[in-house]
Amino acid sequence: MPIWLQWTLIAAGLGVIALLLVFIFRQAKALADGKRRQAKATAFLEQRRQDMVESVRVIALAVEADQVEYSEACLRLKGLLDHLAPELLEQSPYRVFLEVHEHLQHMPTHRARQATETRFVEKMDKERFEIEKKYADEIRRAATAIRLHAFDN
């Protein structure tokens, strides 16, 4: 085999090795970036979960201190529990949040409430207050229970 062919094959081999090294380093960097993104996403979701747990506890404290309307608390707690631990909504004493939500879900809120006729809003408020009165003791007990509940990660 002529010497020039040997040197050409050596040069080609070194070129292939260089290209493979570049490919390996890019793949390693991509894997590291993916792991970093995954860790960041996991940390974000964990922080979001902890924020929701804290919100549940704050709302429960507000219920216990009579600082929030029970209907509002039930709607908010049901929404948070849907994300945190939906199975709790089927268990006693937390079932009351779901029951009150089901009674109130047809009522407009926020802008829709503002756009609704005043007499209709007054009628809905009367219905809402009756529901709050009917479930008041259960709501207070459930609020205390959910405040003390240990949400597992």
DSSP state of 90: G
Q: What is the DSSP string of 95-140?
A: HHHHHHHHHHTTS--HHHHHTS-HHHHHHHHHHHHHHHHHHHHHHH
Please tell me the total number of residues recorded for the chain in this structure.
153
Please state, in angstroms and rounded to a whole number, the distance separating the CA atoms of residues 70 and 123.
Answer: 18
Q: Which residue did the predictor score with more confidence, 115 or 15?
A: 15
Q: How many Cα neighbours within 13 Å face the side chain of 100?
A: 30
User: Hey, CA dihedral for 29, 31, 37, 39, is it positive or negative?
Assistant: negative
Residue type, 28: A
Q: Please report the pLDDT score of residue 152 as a whole number.
A: 76
pLDDT, tens digit, for every residue of 67-105? 999 999 999 999 999 999 999 999 989 999 999 999 988
- Provide the whole-model pTM: 0.76
Q: Please report the pLDDT score of residue 128 as a whole number.
A: 87
Please state, in angstroms and rounded to a whole number, the distance separating the CA atoms of residues 91 and 39.
Answer: 33
